[in-house]
Each structure stands twice: as structure tokens, then as C-alpha cells.
Structure 1
Amino acid sequence: MAVSDVSFTLHKGESLALVGHNGSGKSTLLQLVSRILIPTSGRLTTVGRVPPLIEIGVGFHPELTGEENIYLNASLFGLSNKEIRSRFNEIVDFSGLGNFIDTPVKNYSSGMYMRLGFSVAVHVEPQTLLADEVLAVGDEEFKLKCHERIRSLQDDGMALILVTHAVEEGRAFCQRYLKLERGRMIEHGCY
């Protein structure tokens, strides 16, 4: 889906929900912001660490263990090995995957992938967190834990861009929304 004529600014501590039907361009816009896709025109500026939680399992190497994938992903987000070591236990504890951390992630369920990806992303001190409906999988207890962590990071000044179909979720986490249709911004405002 091509995205065209979309413009927004997101400052420290602000939050934006991207809403729209399937195929409206929400995920494409998030991929542009995360630099997974490169824009062919226009301008895009991001500051600091911007970890994308775009698709379950993206960024994981299936043959590597959970531990190895923590090091791989955290280093891709800009952490040194020393920083990763100092946060490793927190990441594992948050994920609840301690018994599986030495297992290759190809053996993980989608919920386990989500747990690991979310845990790494929120422990790299993100300036902006990009989340594309990743909390749609997993158990309710872990979702609640994730929601609490997002709120805590927002209180500390993290910005959030959240792709969601759930109006309630957008309202719960975001101050503003941007509605897309066929790759174009058709509405934006405050919740």
C-alpha cells in the first residue's frame, strides 16, 4: 500500500493511534517511520531509539535461542553488549520465558514471540515505540503487564505510535489519532 500526503509531528511523551480498515496504509506508514521501508519522496525525521513491534517474529533469527535473539535485537536497537548484559535478566523476567530462553525461537508459539519482542523493545529505553497490533496475541495477564509498562514509559516521556483496530485501545494509550484510507490521511484529531 502506497502512502501519500500524510503529515504529522510527534514530540516527546506524545502518542498517536493510526486507525483505518485493513489495507488503509497503517502498517506501511509504521514501516516507513521505523525505516524498514524507505520513502520515495517527502521527508521523515526520527530521533533516538525507535524500536518497531511490527509483526510477530520479525527481527528474530529462528535458529538462534531466545537469549541469542535478545542480544541480536537489542544490539540492532543500539545497545552495547554491556548494556544488554545489565538488562538481560529484566528482559527475561518481564517476558516470563526463563524456562525457554535457551530454546531456539523457531519452537516458540506466536505468544512467546510477542512476549520476547515486546520485552526487548521496552527495555532498550525507546524514545518512540512503534506497535502494530502486537498485543492482539498473548494471554490477558501479559497484555495487562504490557499496558502497564507502556503507560510507565509514557510517563517517563516515551512517544508512542500505535496501530489498532480497537478504538478503546487507541483511546486508552493515545492522545491523538490519525485515520487513513487508501494510503491517505482522511481525518486526524484528539481523543
Structure 2
Amino acid sequence: MPKTSDARPSIIIEDVGKRFTLRHTQSFKELFIAWTRRKPLASTFQALDGIDLRVAEGESVALLGYNGSGKSTLLKLISGVLRPDQGRVLTRGRVAGLIEVGAGFHPDLSGRENVYLNAAILGMSRSEIDRRFDEIVEFSEIGEFIDTEVKHYSSGMFVRLAFSVAIHTELDILLVDEVLAVGDAPFREKCKAKIRELADERKTMFVVSHDLGMVSSLCTRGIVLRRGKMIFDGPVEDAVAALKESTR
């Protein structure tokens, strides 16, 4: 593992493993047929295996790997959405995850109510939300619809508001998982600029994206996963090269 700065760690991941059970039947009929033919009803998939790393305060890390490598699983372990089957994950400070944007939104509540609800889920106090509310709405560009129930929003409006809530959270660690692929081009550029602003403020960041140019400009360190194992950890330019090499 490369040496990080002398800053205290924001994230510690020690010998982490995560397994999932894959069911091979979808209905009672399929279950009965598989049972009578003595076929396995489920199997185990090792999503992560022996992941060991530390991330220093203020470090921006790109998490690279092709589909099925374990990137999103690792982010969910760091965010606390999932728990490891082995090892441990420790974080210092408030974690905001742009992983499943809008997961805490309620369709029958207005945009305003959902801002307060989702920001509270992300750990903000009422006074913090009050202070950031106008900024959140302005960034989302849905001002006149803020008191409309979100079930009437277009997908673009929903994503803009959900992203705006998450990105304006009072955070110490930001986890980003491909959310920059959503929304129209001008909004994506505004989101990228906001994330760069947070990087300049020395927020600890873990970024998953297939946009290698973007992660190279945003991150200084790159980690490459392949089939649940860490195969590279070092400067982001070398990580991009290692990712491309891993397909040969």
C-alpha cells in the first residue's frame, strides 16, 4: 500500500470480506422442480475478499474496476448500508453517500418536506437544514415546484433535488457512485464543479466513475478492484493504467 499523508485516517478498512447468497429459483414451482431434481437452490458469491486500506483526511481516492469488481459493495460498507462478513470498517466524521440518490425520499411528501426528511437522514440538524435550504433549492433548479409532491416530479427534477440535498450536507467524507451519469449535460457539469469544490476544501472523497478523465483530474490516488480483490493501490494515473492492463 502506498504511503498516505501524515494526516490522521478518515477511513480504515481491515481485512474486509463480503459474501452474498444468490438464489437460483424465482417461484415456488421452480423451487419444487429444483428440489426434486436435487439441484442447488442457492450459491454464494464473494463480492469482496481481504480488502485492506486506509484513507487519510482530505484524500481524494478513485475506486476503479469493471462491472462486478465490488466497487459499489465497498462504498456501501463504508457508508454503513451494508456490514462486512469479516474484518471491520471504521470512519471518522459524518459520511454522505451519493450512492442511491433519493433513496430516502417519500413520494407523497412535497419537495420541501423531503429536503428536511432526507437531510435529517443524512445527519443534519434542523438548524443546519434551515441554513442550507435556500442553497439546496437554488442548486436543484426546481424552485417553483418545491411545495409540490415529489411523485409528480419528472425523473430529472427528482434527481436534481436529491443530489442537491446530498451534496449540501455538512460532511466529512463524501462517497460518489456514478451519480454524475444522471441528469442533463449542464447539470452534470454543475455537479462535477461542486464535487471539485469539495475536493479543494480537503473533504475526504471516494469516487466511483467510468469517466477516467474526470477521476484523474479529481483524485490523487487510485485503487483498482478485480473480482472482489484489490489488485492496485497507488497514484491515480498508474491506477488507470493498471485498470486497462487488467483486461489483457
Q: TM-score range by the shorter chain?
A: over 0.9
Q: 1:11 to 1:117 in 2, by over 3 A?
A: farther
Moved more, 114-123 or 16-25: 114-123
Q: Distance in 2 between matches of 1:165 and 1:42?
A: 28
TM-score under structure 1 length normalisation: 0.93
Match of 1:36 among 60, 66, 81: 81
Q: Deviations over 1:88-115 (max 9, x none)?
A: 1110001111122122222333332321
Corresponding residue number in structure 2 for 1:188:
233
- Tell me, which stretches of 5 or more residues in structure 1 are unaligned? none
Does 1:140 find its partner at 2:209? no
Match of 1:84 among 129, 144, 161: 129
Which structure has the greater CA radius of gyration?
Answer: 2
Match of 1:165 among 165, 187, 210: 210
Aligned alpha-carbon RMSD (Å) = 1.5
Identity value in percent: 52
Q: Partner amino acid for 2:207? A: L
Does 1:156 find its partner at 2:206? no
**2:224–2:232 Cα contact (<8 Å) kept:** yes
**2:48–2:70 Cα contact (<8 Å) kept:** yes
- Tell me, which stretches of 5 or more residues in structure 2 are unaligned? 1-45, 237-248
Corresponding residue number in structure 2 for 1:74:
119
Q: What's the CA shift for 1:2?
A: 2.0
Q: What's the CA shift for 1:83?
A: 1.6
Q: Deviations over 1:16-59 (max 9, x none)?
A: 11111111111111100000001121111111111111123322
Q: Partner amino acid for 1:169? A: M
- What is the SS of the residue equivalent to 1:43? strand
Corresponding residue number in structure 1 for 2:142:
97
Q: Distance in 2 between matches of 1:106 and 1:31?
A: 26
Q: Distance in 2 between matches of 1:58 and 1:119?
A: 13
Q: Distance in 1 between matches of 2:47 and 2:201?
A: 34
Corresponding residue number in structure 2 for 1:128:
173
Q: Deviations over 1:143-168 (max 9, x none)?
A: 22112211211221211111111211
- What is the SS of the residue equivalent to 1:94? helix
Structure 1 stretches of 4+ with a deviation exceeding 3 A read: none
Q: Distance in 2 between matches of 1:136 and 1:189?
A: 25
Q: Distance in 2 between matches of 1:130 and 1:113?
A: 20
- What is the SS of the residue equivalent to 2:74? helix
Larger RCO: Structure 1 or Structure 2 (Cα < 8 Å, ≥ 6 residues apart)?
A: 1
Higher strand fraction (1 or 2): 2
Corresponding residue number in structure 1 for 2:26:
none
